Chains A and B, each alone.
Chain A
Amino acid sequence: MDFLVGAFKPPCNVSISFVDTKTRKQVPLKKDNGQTIMVPLFQSQENIIGEVLIEPTQGKKFEHNGVKIELLGQIVRELDVPGELFERKTYQFEFSTVEMPHESYNGINVRLRYILKVTIGRNYISNIVECQDFVVRNFTPPPSINNSIKMEVGIEDCLHIEFEYGKSKYHLKDVIIGKIYFLLVRIKIKNMELEIRRRESTGSGPNTYVETETLAKFELMDGAPVRGESIPVRLFLSPYELTPTYRNINNKFSVKYYLNLVFVDEEDRRYFKQQEITVYRLLES
Chain B
Amino acid sequence: MMIPDGIEDEEKWLAEGIAGIQHNAFYMHRALDANNLREVLKYSAQMLSELRTSKLSPHKYYELYMRAFDELRKLEMFFKDESRHGVSIVDLYELVQHAGNILPRLYLLCTVGSVYIKSKEAPAKDVLKDLVEMCLGVQHPIRGLFLRCYLAQISRDKLPDIGSEYKGDSDTVVDAVDFVLQNFIEMNKLWVRLKHQGPGRSREKLEKERSELRDLVGKNLHVLSQIEGVDLEMYKDTVLPRILEQIVNCKDDLSQYYLMDCIIQVFPDEYHLQTLETLLGACPLLQPTVDIKTVLSQLMDRLSNYAASSTDVLPEFLRVEAFAKLSSAIGRVIEAQVEMPIVGAITLYVSLLTFTLRVHPDRLDYVDQVLGACVKKLSGKPKLEDSKAKKQVVALLSAPLEKYKDIVMALTLSNYPRVMDHLDNETNKVMAMVIIQSILKNTSCISTADQVEVLFELIKGLVKDLDGTDVEELDEEDFKEEQNSVARLIHMLYNDDPEEMLKIICAAKKNIMNGGPKRLPFTVPPLILSALGLIRRLQGREGDLTGEEVPATPKNIFQILNQAIEALTTVPSPELALRLYLECAEAANDCDLEPVAYEFFTQAFVLYEEEITDSKSQVTAIHLIIGTLQRMNVFGVENRDTLTHKATGYSAKLLKKPDQCRAVYACSHLFWVDDLDGIKDGERVLLCLKRALRIANAAQQMINITRGSSGPVTLFVEILNKYLYFFEKGNPQVTSAAIQALIELITTETKSDSTAPDAVSDPFFASTLRYIQFQKQKGGAMSEKYDSIKV
B-contact bits for A216-233, CB 8 A (1 contact / 0 none)? 111111111110011110
Instruction: Verify A229–B139 contact, CB threshold 8 A.
Output: yes
Instruction: Verify A221–B100 contact, CB threshold 8 A.
Output: no
Instruction: Verify B100–A217 contact, CB threshold 8 A.
Output: yes
B103 (CB) vs chain A CBs: closest residue:
A222
Known contacts: A232-B133, A232-B134, A234-B134. The answer to whether A223 contacts B97 by CB under 8 A is no
Known contacts: A218-B100, A231-B139. The answer to whether A223 contacts B144 by CB under 8 A is yes
| Nearest Cβ on chain B to A175's Cβ, whole angstroms | 8
Within the assembled complex, what's the spacing in Å between the Cα atoms of A229 and B136? 8
Known contacts: A222-B52, A222-B102, A239-B98. The answer to whether A232 contacts B140 by CB under 8 A is no
Contact of B102 among A220, A224, A239 (CB under 8 A): A220
Does chain A have a CB within 8 A of B85?
A: no
Contact of A222 among B97, B134, B140 (CB under 8 A): B140
Within the assembled complex, what's the spacing in Å between the Cα atoms of A220 and B103? 9
A229 (CB) vs chain B CBs: closest residue:
B139
Instruction: Verify B138–A222 contact, CB threshold 8 A.
Output: yes
Across the interface, which residues of A come within 8 angstroms of B137, CB to CB?
Answer: 219-222, 231-232
Does chain A have a CB within 8 A of B143?
A: yes
Known contacts: A222-B52, A229-B139. The answer to whether A234 contacts B144 by CB under 8 A is no
Instruction: Verify B100–A219 contact, CB threshold 8 A.
Output: yes
Within the assembled complex, what's the spacing in Å between the Cα atoms of A220 and B141? 16
Instruction: Verify B97–A221 contact, CB threshold 8 A.
Output: no
Does chain B have a CB within 8 A of A86?
A: no
B98 (CB) vs chain A CBs: closest residue:
A239
Count residues on chain B whose CB falls below 8 Å from chain A CBs. Answer: 21
Across the interface, which residues of B come within 8 angstroms of A238, CB to CB?
Answer: 98
Does chain A have a CB within 8 A of B704?
A: no
| Nearest Cβ on chain B to A234's Cβ, whole angstroms | 7
Within the assembled complex, what's the spacing in Å between the Cα atoms of A247 and B249? 51
Across the interface, which residues of A come within 8 angstroms of B189, CB to CB?
Answer: 226
Does chain A have a CB within 8 A of B728?
A: no
Across the interface, which residues of A come within 8 angstroms of B193, CB to CB?
Answer: 226
Q: Which of B94, B103, B137, B189 counts the most A-chain CB atoms under 10 A from its CB?
A: B137
Does chain A have a CB within 8 A of B747?
A: no
| Nearest Cβ on chain A to B168's Cβ, whole angstroms | 23
Instruction: Verify B100–A224 contact, CB threshold 8 A.
Output: no
Does chain A have a CB within 8 A of B563?
A: no
Does chain A have a CB within 8 A of B101?
A: yes
B189 (CB) vs chain A CBs: closest residue:
A226
Does chain B have a CB within 8 A of A209?
A: no
Instruction: Verify A219–B102 contact, CB threshold 8 A.
Output: yes
Known contacts: A236-B98, A239-B98. The answer to whether A221 contacts B134 by CB under 8 A is no
Contact of A231 among B94, B136, B141 (CB under 8 A): B136
Within the assembled complex, what's the spacing in Å between the Cα atoms of A30 and B778? 148
Instruction: Verify A221–B98 contact, CB threshold 8 A.
Output: no
Q: Which of A216, A223, A230, A239 counts the most B-chain CB atoms under 10 A from its CB?
A: A223
Known contacts: A232-B133, A232-B134, A234-B134. The answer to whether A223 contacts B98 by CB under 8 A is no
Within the assembled complex, what's the spacing in Å between the Cα atoms of A236 and B91? 12
A-contact bits for B131-168, CB 8 A (1 contact / 0 none)? 00110111111011000000000000000000000000
Contact of A219 among B101, B136, B143, B144 (CB under 8 A): B101
Contact of A224 among B133, B134, B136, B139 (CB under 8 A): B139
Nearest first, the 10 closest Cβ-Cβ pairs linking A and B are: A223-B140, A223-B139, A219-B102, A225-B139, A239-B98, A222-B138, A221-B137, A219-B101, A222-B102, A222-B140
Question: 9 A-B residue contacts at CB 8 Å?
Answer: A191-B102, A216-B100, A217-B100, A221-B138, A222-B137, A222-B138, A223-B139, A223-B143, A236-B94
Chain A residues within CB distance 8 Å of chain B: 191, 216-226, 229-232, 234, 236, 238-239
Given A220-B137, A221-B139, 14 new contacts (CB under 8 A): A218-B100, A219-B100, A219-B102, A219-B137, A222-B52, A222-B102, A222-B138, A223-B138, A223-B144, A224-B140, A229-B136, A234-B97, A234-B134, A239-B98
